[in-house]
Amino acid sequence: MSPASGASQYYGSFHAVRNTNAYTFNFGDRRIRGSQIYFELNFRLPIVGLDRDEDFSPTGYNTLILESDCRTVVTSYPGIAIH
């Protein structure tokens, strides 16, 4: 993993990211901001990826952002959306 892109980075494969987002959707805290729904989940261990907002430190938080239809993914990334 290299922070060269400047973005937070997940550990693992696309399949692992998809599963992480599924857990976040089902068990995460939900907040509505405008027309988007933010889901955040703390896995309690730094297993999700590297958080750019925390100097690319390992994180156990995942953020998933969906449109109001709850089907269209805006983005997802390791780390906390709302501090």
**HSE value, Cβ hemisphere, 13 Å, CA-based, for 41:** 20
**Domain-embedded: residue 25:** yes
Q: How far is 49 from 37, CA to CA, in rounded Å?
A: 22
Strand partners, 66: 37, 73
pLDDT, tens only, 9-55: 999 999 999 999 999 999 999 999 999 999 999 999 999 999 999 99
CA angle 73, 75, 76 (to 5 degrees): 110
Q: How far is 42 from 34, CA to CA, in rounded Å?
A: 23
Query: pTM value?
Result: 0.89
**Domain-embedded: residue 83:** no
Is residue 73 predicted with pLDDT exceeding 70? yes
Q: How many domains does the chain have?
A: 1
Residues spanned by the domain of 53: 3-78
**Domain-embedded: residue 21:** yes
